[in-house]
Structure 1
Amino acid sequence: MKEAKRRPGRPSKQDQFQKELLLSHALIEFAKHGYEGASLRKIANLSNVDVALLSYHFGSKLGLWTSVVDHLTERITLQTVPFKNNYMHMKLETACIALVDNIVNFCFEFPFHMMFVTNELSHQSERSIYLMDKMLLPTFRHLMPFIKDCMEAGVIKKQEPTLYYLMLVNSVSLLGTIPNLVNEFKEDFTVNNDLKSEMKESVLANFFQIAAV
């Protein structure tokens, strides 16, 4: 039996498509090389799929880039929206620990996300506007009421809340991006879980007026 003809660029049914894996590889390539320097062919090769599959599912490089942002946003939303809705029913100290857990865990799950964001925000473009409107500003708005409540309660030292938020997120994200650098300074970090645990305690000690439990 002859194989049915298919449209140019359309993948065969035998092509395997693991979207999260492909988006993970795309995130790393966009982070390392920027939008212009990222290669769709390399992303496809890393994901063990034909490059035509990218065109079929995402339409273009911009479509793939947009899907990376949407995927990150979805993962952040899964963490921040339930937290935003539930923290009023928690002790502030417990909520702070939960927030730190979420931030650190996300940064280890997506260690290249900060490099990706920094590349895009280095100059204004349609992509940087999309990134701000889709992911960065909504996340900020979700968490800002909690941060202000913590400052009023003395759990966070009173200061300019926007700068506090940016310093908190960027400090954690930077270490999540370069864990090997920490290993160079502190040799007894042997596995990521050790570093994650130590980071959570350090963030609580430096950014909140509470101790880890």
Structure 2
Amino acid sequence: MAPRIPSANKAVATGRPAELKRAEQPRAQETRSAILRAALSEFAEKGYDAASIRNIAERIGLQHPLITYHYRSKEVLWQAVAEYVFARIREEWDAHLADSGAISSEERLQLAYGTLFRFTVKFPEFDRFMRQEMLGYSPRLQWLADTVLKPLIDWLLPQISDAQARGALPKVEPILFHYLMISLTSALASFGPELSVTSKLSPSDPTVVDAYWRAVESLVFGRTKVSK
């Protein structure tokens, strides 16, 4: 059985009593999901400082107080967005790993990074959301590292070390290999507009997406084959 991707260290506090959260109806949950999707777009486009709860409300036609009812501050909402997105990534990782039959570390890594790549292609706003926070140090970046990124990296690094020890991956500091892969997984999302204007290729074209990732797999993972 493939090892399960760990979840984040702790859930985001929404400022609401536990009894109320347990009693939420599906409609309220749908509202919260809509808020998170709109907030992701707002934070991705404008960054944390320029984003506003009022603009997020306008994106989905809600009253401003309804958002603060669910998320008491912009910071809490930002944290909830980060948790929401990474929870979706973890779900996809777990599903792909469970269905693949991948047994070696390099096979698991190939699937994990491949899943992340396809997620960023499908949701380029995720890449923009992350890049907004990578421009410099902030308490949000520290929170992101401690709460969301560290559990994932702690799962990935031993897989990288094991594959390197058996000669299946280039020997470099595992964390450097990880960020090499992060840059490769985000390339189409990051450079999509530039790619479109410098070529006739669309970063969302399935043929382009498949060709790009096959090249990455060939360059990085060599002959590793994974059932998909």
TM-score, normalised on structure 1?
0.78
- Gaps spanning 5+ residues in structure 1: where? 1-13
**Amino acid in structure 1 at the alignment position of 2:156:** L
* Structure 1 residue 188, shift from structure 2 partner: 4.4
Alpha-carbon distance between aligned partners in 2 of 1:147 and 1:182, rounded to the nearest angstrom: 30
* Structure 1 residue 58, shift from structure 2 partner: 0.5
What do the CA deviations read for 1:182-205 (whole angstroms, capped 9, x no partner)?
233341448432232122112212
Task: Determine if contact 1:31/1:119 at 8 Å carries over to the other structure.
Answer: yes
Select which of 136, 148, 168 maps to 1:155: 168
Name the CA shift for 1:184/1:110 in 2 (closer, same or farther; >3 Å): same
**Amino acid in structure 2 at the alignment position of 1:181:** E
Q: Which moved more, 1:132-141 or 1:86-95?
A: 86-95
What do the CA deviations read for 1:52-76 (whole angstroms, capped 9, x no partner)?
2111111111111111111122123
- Provide the residue aligned with 1:137 in structure 2: 150
Alpha-carbon distance between aligned partners in 2 of 1:212 and 1:183, rounded to the nearest angstrom: 31
Q: Which moved more, 1:16-25 or 1:48-57?
A: 16-25
* Structure 1 residue 86, shift from structure 2 partner: 9.0
Alpha-carbon distance between aligned partners in 2 of 1:190 and 1:139, rounded to the nearest angstrom: 26
* Structure 1 residue 137, shift from structure 2 partner: 1.7
**Amino acid in structure 2 at the alignment position of 1:149:** D
Q: Which moved more, 1:97-106 or 1:48-57?
A: 97-106
Alpha-carbon distance between aligned partners in 2 of 1:89 and 1:176, rounded to the nearest angstrom: 27
* Structure 1 residue 165, shift from structure 2 partner: 0.6
Aligned alpha-carbon RMSD (Å)? 3.1
Moved over 6 A (4+): 82-88
* Structure 1 residue 131, shift from structure 2 partner: 0.7
- Gaps spanning 5+ residues in structure 2: where? 1-26
Mapping of residues 1-213 of structure 1, within 5 Å: 17-80=30-93, 90-91=103-104, 94-189=107-202, 191-210=204-223
Task: Determine if contact 2:120/2:189 at 8 Å carries over to the other structure.
Answer: yes
Task: Determine if contact 2:57/2:67 at 8 Å carries over to the other structure.
Answer: yes
Alpha-carbon distance between aligned partners in 1 of 2:183 and 2:203, rounded to the nearest angstrom: 24
What do the CA deviations read for 1:142-167 (whole angstroms, capped 9, x no partner)?
11111122222222122222111111
Name the CA shift for 1:139/1:85 in 2 (closer, same or farther; >3 Å): farther
Name the CA shift for 1:16/1:93 in 2 (closer, same or farther; >3 Å): closer
* Structure 1 residue 94, shift from structure 2 partner: 4.2
- Provide the residue aligned with 1:3 in structure 2: none
Alpha-carbon distance between aligned partners in 2 of 1:16 and 1:85, rounded to the nearest angstrom: 27
Q: Secondary structure at the match of 2:88?
A: helix
* Structure 1 residue 139, shift from structure 2 partner: 1.4
- Using CA pairs below 8 Å that are at least 6 residues apart, which structure has the higher relative contact order? 2
Task: Determine if contact 1:76/1:139 at 8 Å carries over to the other structure.
Answer: no
Task: Determine if contact 2:121/2:204 at 8 Å carries over to the other structure.
Answer: no
Alpha-carbon distance between aligned partners in 1 of 2:134 and 2:50, rounded to the nearest angstrom: 16
Identity %: 25
Name the CA shift for 1:89/1:189 in 2 (closer, same or farther; >3 Å): closer
Larger radius of gyration: 1
Aligned residue pairs, count: 200
